[in-house]
Structure 1
Amino acid sequence: MEMMRKSLGAFLAVLMVTVMSNVPQAGAEPMRVTLGTSTQGGGFSLYGTALAEAINAVEPAPMVEPRLTRGTGENLPLLDKGALDIALVQGTSAYEALAGIGQPKSDLKILTAMYSSPGVFAVRGDVQATTIEDLKGKTVVFGTEASGLVVMANYVLDGLGLDMRRDFDAVFVKRAADSPPKVIGGEAVALWGAGVGWPGFVRVSEGPAGARFIGLTPEQIAQIRAKHSFLKPMRLPAGSYAGQSEAVETVGSWNFVLTRADLPEDIAYRLIAAIDKAGPALTEKLDQAAETTPANTAEGAPDRAMLHPGVVRYLTEKGLL
């Protein structure tokens, strides 16, 4: 009997130590996850802030902290170095990195699909241009050079036999917020961008002259995809921007939140679960966030092996894989 009491006492002591070791201590530094976004005024910085707020509202640990960067072009090497835990990456650049196109294959992983990015040109409303051919030789703002949108523009134009710097008076800016004023003020005739609710297009379409959107013909879509098949046929729905009465057909890609290669499985699992739970609140902040779903993550990933193991576990539990 005495031996049983001693054994039970030892067991309870071990149990108490185990429990206490997993309780956050007062004054302890909370677990943090750094989220790389983009320059101020860009679509990624807007989305990243909203995403962090939504996750933190439903999952206080780990705490997600958004960090302004120069966009996709900086986010990828920062993830590779472990200087960021997760980051927003434009779809074309994400595919290049994960598939090893033109570079060593990356070990980064997909946390979640963000939203689709149908690429189009927003032309100032008083400019007489209705096709990409009409923009040749004209001043066009393509954005920040580190942006994944510029990478996508290169693929789209290359598929049409065009070159951004040869066939256009291409303008690049230091901050995404600097792009719309150049079109609104008349320094440029058009702005390249992508997606619904993109801040640059919102500003141009609400400017004094408004905006008209140029996409692609079915023949151009087929021509581009014959050379760059990873670009998918997409549509910018009617009413996405002020004065846009018709849908615009084009090509584009899914944007992703990527993780560093060694992000712990449990952290990725908790993050994707929090994103799923926070979906309605996130969509209230940004219309395009309605596409940030587990189902789109499962469908949008080019290869299951590109998904983080923690995400695979969550999607499997949801019956999506």
Structure 2
Amino acid sequence: MGSRKTGAPAPREDQMRHIRTFATATTLAVLPLAAFAAPVDLRLITMEPGGSWYSYGSTFSEIIQGSEGENELNVEVLPRGGGMTNPVAVSQGAADLGFVSASAAVWARDGIGEEFEGREANNARAIVGGLQLAYTTIAARRDYVKKSGLTTFDEMVASDNPPRFVLKPAGSQVPILANYMFEALGSSLEDMRGRGAITQISTAQIAQMLRDGTADVYIENAPVGQATMSEVTLTTPMVFVPASDTVLDHMSELGAPAANMPEGSYPGQEGVYRTSMTPTILIANADMDEEVAYQLTRALVEQREKIAEAFPALAGWDPEKGAQPDQAVIELHPGAARYYRERGWIE
């Protein structure tokens, strides 16, 4: 009988070794990409519990964490911040992602207004735009318009006897937007206040003031269906007052592009209402890895239906429109832009 060389594997052992090697290679080949993904920790800043952005944060983080790609994305939701805080937090790296009003993102980027003077905030880029459109509305009591004969915002500001404007107190972006609107016509919030034309008060009291006739014009910035504007238009006959292109062009330069509020949004609205809007956008720090930004952008866009189902207020979000300059408003992150180019939505 022949003998095999010392140290050489037995035929069966050699065969089993090849089988094990093949099995291991096959297993590795069919493992999901996530099994090899590099972990990346992200912080998403929203707002305090109870706010809409806080609610959005849980669903958005779930979608991002479940995304497929080169990275295993982990998201920590930061339940603090707000419209004027988040652009700075993301730009300075205190958070990686954040919900912001597009107008505030522009003010922060350009250092506009005392809120952002001396605060570096130009290192943020848009991931998705146009999540929710907040329209700036100028609603006047119908009786006031009939008695005064003032039918436009420009006429009201220029009048020797201006209306009594009512709006939210400091802390909201409404007074800032109103100030820019007045500035476009050579006035300011403080100038109008000095003329006795400004009352800033909590939203809980605004509807009552208009019903009582102690206020004439209500300036707001909110999505269609906002509770206070809905109450006002249901309990007091109102008309929506137009502003000139001078005002709208100035607002566009400040991150609040012109838009048409759909016909029938509120009682008293006749036709579409041409005004300015401030989209809610999701921003990222500009230094975020391009592949990470691409992966989370793709996940959010492709889960649009899940987002709409969870939040009816976001049901109107159109990702293709949101990628355009009038809804993204600030520069897109390169990773997001790459995804949108692949979809053929931007050049």
Report the TM-score, using the length of structure 1 for normalisation: 0.71
Q: Tell me the alpha carbon deviations over residues 260-300 of structure 1, each in whole angstroms, 9 at most, x when there is no partner.
A: 33334344323322322232344453356423413431343
Cα gap change, 1:78 to 1:227, in 2 (>3 Å): closer
Q: Which of 205, 218, 222 pairs up with 2:246? A: 222
- Gap runs ≥5 in structure 2: 1-7, 68-72
- In 1, the alpha carbon distance for the partners of 2:142 and 2:164 equals 15
Cα gap change, 1:274 to 1:145, in 2 (>3 Å): farther
Amino acid at match of 1:35: I
1:185 paired with 2:208, answer yes
1:167 shift after superposition? 0.6
Q: How do residues 28-39 of structure 1 correspond to structure 2 at under 5 angstroms?
A: 33-37=43-47
8 Å Cα contact 1:160-1:224 kept in structure 2? no
- In 2, the alpha carbon distance for the partners of 1:227 and 1:12 equals 62
1:164 shift after superposition? 1.4
- In 2, the alpha carbon distance for the partners of 1:11 and 1:239 equals 64
Q: Tell me the alpha carbon deviations over residues 201-238 of structure 1, each in whole angstroms, 9 at most, x when there is no partner.
A: 234334x325432231xxx2135526964553322221
- In 1, the alpha carbon distance for the partners of 2:308 and 2:144 equals 34
SS in 1 for 2:260: strand
SS in 2 for 1:73: coil
Amino acid at match of 1:108: A
8 Å Cα contact 1:89-1:148 kept in structure 2? no
- In 2, the alpha carbon distance for the partners of 1:227 and 1:32 equals 33
1:212 paired with 2:236, answer no
1:49 paired with 2:55, answer yes
Cα gap change, 1:78 to 1:212, in 2 (>3 Å): same
Root mean square deviation of aligned Cα? 4.2
Amino acid at match of 1:238: E
1:297 paired with 2:323, answer yes
1:78 paired with 2:89, answer yes
1:239 shift after superposition? 1.0
1:60 paired with 2:83, answer no
1:248 shift after superposition? 1.7
Q: How do residues 190-201 of structure 1 correspond to structure 2 at under 5 angstroms?
A: 190-201=218-229
8 Å Cα contact 1:92-1:148 kept in structure 2? no
- In 2, the alpha carbon distance for the partners of 1:70 and 1:203 equals 28
2:125 counterpart residue number:
109
8 Å Cα contact 2:134-2:280 kept in structure 1? yes
Q: How do residues 145-160 of structure 1 correspond to structure 2 at under 5 angstroms?
A: 145-160=170-185
SS in 2 for 1:157: helix
8 Å Cα contact 1:37-1:67 kept in structure 2? yes
SS in 1 for 2:99: strand
Amino acid at match of 2:95: L
- In 1, the alpha carbon distance for the partners of 2:227 and 2:251 equals 30
SS in 1 for 2:122: coil
Segment of structure 1 superposing worse, 283-292 or 74-83: 283-292
Cα gap change, 1:48 to 1:105, in 2 (>3 Å): closer
1:112 shift after superposition? 0.9
2:5 counterpart residue number:
none
Cα gap change, 1:170 to 1:201, in 2 (>3 Å): same
1:234 counterpart residue number:
259
- Gap runs ≥5 in structure 1: none
Report the TM-score, using the length of structure 2 for normalisation: 0.67
SS in 2 for 1:71: coil
Cα gap change, 1:82 to 1:238, in 2 (>3 Å): same
8 Å Cα contact 2:127-2:293 kept in structure 1? yes
Q: Tell me the alpha carbon deviations over residues 94-116 of structure 1, each in whole angstroms, 9 at most, x when there is no partner.
A: 22334565665611110111244
- In 2, the alpha carbon distance for the partners of 1:38 and 1:289 equals 23
